[in-house]
Amino acid sequence: MTQRKGSEFAGLSVAIITPFRDGEVDYACLREQVEFQVQAGTTCIVPVGTTGESPTLSHDEHDRVITEVIQCVAGRAKVMAGTGSNSTAEALRLTKRAAAEGADATLQVAPYYNKPTQEGFYQHFKAIAEDVDIPVCVYNIPGRTGKEIEVGTIQRLSEIQGITMVKEATGKLDQCSAIAGTTDLTILSGDDSLTLPMMSVGAEGVISVVGNLVPGPMIELVNAALADDFVTARTLHHRLFGLCSSMLGLSTNPIPIKAAMQMVGRDTGEMRLPMTPLEPQQFEQLRESLLAFGLASVTG
C-alpha cells in the first residue's frame, strides 16, 4: 500500500478541552491536561478545536492556548493547532502565528456561517496551504458549519502539496470510502464511535473527544485497527461505544466531556455562554455511563 500524505499523524489525536476557572482560561490546568496526554502516548494534541471551545475564546486567548500547548508538549508529541476561520485572512493570520510558534500542523475547519460554494471552499484551503509551511488538515463538519465539503472538492484539494489530511465528521461511511479510494490523504475520523468503521475502509486514526478522558483504550483500538487486528479492535469498539455515544449524544460537544472531566476530578466543568451545563437527568445518565465503563472515581 502506498504511504499516504500525512501518515505521521496516524493514530490517536485528542481535541483537548480548554479549562476555565472563574471565567478565565486556567492555563495551569491546561498544562496538566497536556501532560496527561503526553504520558498516555497520544500521537497528537489538538488545541482550540470544537472541543476546545474556540468560538468563545478571545483572539489573545486563542493564540496563548496554542503557545502554551506547544511549549508544554516540547516535542514529545505532535501539535495540530485549530486555526480555522470563516475569514480566509483570519485563518491565515492564526495559522502563520501557530506555525511560527512551532505547531506541527493546522486543523482548518470549513468556513462556517457564510456557506461558500465548492469553489469557495477550494480557494480558501488552497490559499492557506500555499501560504504556510505546515501540513493542513481539512475539517469537514457540516453539522456545525452549515455546508458540506463535497468529495469532488476534497479530491481537488488532495492535489495541493500542503494539504495532507482530512478530518471526516460528516457521519458518512461512503464519504470516507470515496476519499480513501481516490486520494492519498490521511483520513482521521471526526466521530469517536465511527473510528473503527472508518478505519475498516481506510481511515488511519481519529481526532477524539473521549480521548480527553480515556486515551489509553482509544490508542489500543486505533493501534489494533492499524495492525489489521479487527477482532481486538471490535472488542474495544464495543467497550467504548456507550461512552463515545454519551459524549456526543447527550448534548452538544463539549458539554458532556466537560461534565465528565469534572466528575473524574480533572476539570471544573466550567464553560462560557452560550454553552450551558447538562440537565440533571443528562448528568445522571453520563455518570452511569462513566461507572459502567469502569471509572470508579466518578463523583456527582
Shortest CA distance to 98 belongs to which of 128, 56, 122, 138? 128
Is-contact 176 166, C-beta < 8 A?
Answer: no
- The catalytic position among 78, 126, 147, 167 is 167
Alpha carbon distance 84, 224 (integer Å): 31
Beta bridge partners of 207: 13
Residue type, position 270, single letter? E
Active site residue 139: yes
SS (H, E, C) 175-186: HHHHHHHHCCEE
- The catalytic position among 122, 126, 139, 147 is 139
| Whether residue 254 has a cis bond before it, omega within 30° of 0 | yes
Contact partners, residue 184, CB within 8 Å, separation at least 6: 2, 4, 5, 158
Is-contact 118 152, C-beta < 8 A?
Answer: yes
The torsion angles phi and psi of 104, rounded to 5 degrees, stand at: -85, -20
Residue the block writes with cell 476534497: 154
Active site residue 78: no
Residue type, position 52, single letter? G
Alpha carbon distance 173, 170 (integer Å): 8
Question: Catalytic residue numbers?
Answer: 139, 167
